[in-house]
Amino acid sequence: MRILLFSGKGGVGKTSLAAATGLQLSRLGYRTLVMSVDPAHSLADAFDLETGLFHAKTGDPYAIDERLAIHEVNIQKEIKRHWKEISAYVVSVLRTTGISDVEAEELAILPGMEELSAMMYVNQFRRERRYDAIVLDCAPTAESMRFVSMPTTLEWYMKHIFPFQRGIVKAVRPIANRMSPVELPPDNYFANIQELFAKLDGIGELLEDPKITSVRLVTNPERMVLRETQRAFVYFSLHGLTVDGVIVNRVLPEAVKDDWFAEWRASQGKILEEIEAYFAPVAVRQVPLFTHEVLGRERLEDLAATLYGEKTDPAAVSRTEAPYSFGKRDGHYEVRLRLPFAAKGEVGLFKKGDELVVEIGTLRRHIGLPTSMASLMPSRARLENRVLTVEMKES
Ligand X SMILES: Nc1ncnc2c1ncn2[C@@H]1O[C@H](COP(=O)(O)OP(=O)(O)O)[C@@H](O)[C@H]1O
Residues near Mg ion (CB under 5 A), total: 4
Cα–Cα distance for residue pair 384/216, rounded to 1 Å:
29
Question: CB-wise, 15 or 237, nearer to Mg ion?
Answer: 15
Question: CB-wise, 11 or 327, nearer to ligand X?
Answer: 11
Per-residue binder mask for ligand X (CB under 6 A), 195-234, x = binder: ----------------------------------------
Q: Say if residue 134 is exposed, middle or buried (CB neighbours under 10 Å; 0-12, 13-18, 19+).
A: buried
347 lines the binding site for ligand X (CB under 6 A):
no
24 lines the binding site for ligand X (CB under 6 A):
no
Give the strand pairing for 324-329 and 332-338: antiparallel
Give the three-state DSSP class for 382.
strand
Q: Which amino acid is at 64?
A: I
> Using the rule CB under 5 A, which residue among 3, 6, 12, 15 binds Mg ion?
15
- Helix ranges (H only) for 28-131 are 43-46, 51-57, 75-82, 84-95, 101-107, 113-128
Site for ligand X in 234-273 (CB under 6 A): 249-250
Residues near ligand X (CB under 6 A), total: 17
Asked if residues 146 and 227 have their Cβ atoms less than 8 Å apart, the reply is no
What is the torsion angle, in degrees rounded to the nearest 10, for the CA atoms of residue 280, residue 285, residue 288 and residue 293? -120
Phi, psi of 68 (to 5 degrees): -120, 130
Q: How far is the CB of 18 from Mg ion (least distance, A)?
A: 8
117 lines the binding site for ligand X (CB under 6 A):
no
Q: How far is the CB of 42 from ligand X (least distance, A)?
A: 5
Q: How far is the CB of 293 from Mg ion (least distance, A)?
A: 13
149 lines the binding site for ligand X (CB under 6 A):
no
Site for ligand X in 28-57 (CB under 6 A): 42
- Of Mg ion, ligand X, none, which one does residue 281 interact with (CB within 5 to 8 Å by kind)? none
Of 236, 237, 232, 208, residue with least CA distance to 218: 232
Question: CB-wise, 42 or 267, nearer to ligand X?
Answer: 42
Compute how many other C-beta atoms are within 10 angstroms of the C-beta atom of residue 271: 20
Cα–Cα distance for residue pair 148/213, rounded to 1 Å:
11
Q: How far is the CB of 243 from ligand X (least distance, A)?
A: 17
300 lines the binding site for ligand X (CB under 6 A):
no
Asked if residues 77 and 59 have their Cβ atoms less than 8 Å apart, the reply is yes
Per-residue binder mask for Mg ion (CB under 5 A), 21-60, x = binder: -----------------x---x------------------
Cα–Cα distance for residue pair 222/228, rounded to 1 Å:
10
> Using the rule CB under 6 A, which residue among 3, 5, 13, 87 binds ligand X?
13
16 lines the binding site for ligand X (CB under 6 A):
yes
Question: CB-wise, 296 or 361, nearer to ligand X?
Answer: 296
Q: Name 169's bridge partners.
A: none
Residues in contact with ligand X by the rule CB under 6 A: 8, 10-16, 42, 249-250, 287, 289-290, 293-295
Residues in contact with Mg ion by the rule CB under 5 A: 14-15, 38, 42
